[in-house]
Amino acid sequence: MRSLIVLGLLFVACVDPAVSRTTPPVATPAIVPTSTTRAVVLSCEPTRKTDAAGVVTVDGGFGIVGEASTYGGDTEGTFWLVRKGAALGDSIALHFEQTAGKAPATWVEYNATGSPRTTPWGDVAFKVGWKPISFSDTCWRLVVDGTDTGLVVAVGH
């Protein structure tokens, strides 16, 4: 009998008060890490040159709004690519050529469509997903519609 009393006291002591009948449930917001809240360590150098408006660019024809880097495994993240003279609905062919690292692919290709987005270069931008190239410790040169933009994006760890 004494064993049952001790076991009962231990059980009561271990019950989480958050799930008791007298305490109403409390919703807590989920914190989702993003490239802006996570420290990224890079093993290669992305393009950092910007124009007067803060767009990352080499030639003023193509640019990246924001950072040209992320962390490895960023399967949900994106960056915004801008092109001078882009129109809503334009489609571009993206070709990423691996310049550093050891990803399973040496290149990746896919398309992006111009979306409404206000940027320093106008009201259209191309949403580019990191997922196809999100291999830790790699760098990728960006070619758009067969033209080397000179832009290099980096994936750290």
* pLDDT tens string 40-60: 788 789 999 999 999 999 999
The total number of structural domains in the chain stands at 1
Q: How far apart are CA 76 and CA 130, in angstroms?
A: 7
Q: Are 64 and 6 in contact (CB under 8 A)?
A: no
Q: How far apart are CA 151 and CA 157, in angstroms?
A: 20
- 1 domain-assigned: no
Q: Are 114 and 86 in contact (CB under 8 A)?
A: yes
| Segment (H or E) for 33 | none
Residue 74's domain is classified under what CATH number?
Answer: 2.60.40
**Domain span holding position 105:** 36-156
- 17 domain-assigned: no
Task: Dump pLDDT digits (tens) for 125-146.
Answer: 999 999 999 999 999 999 999 9
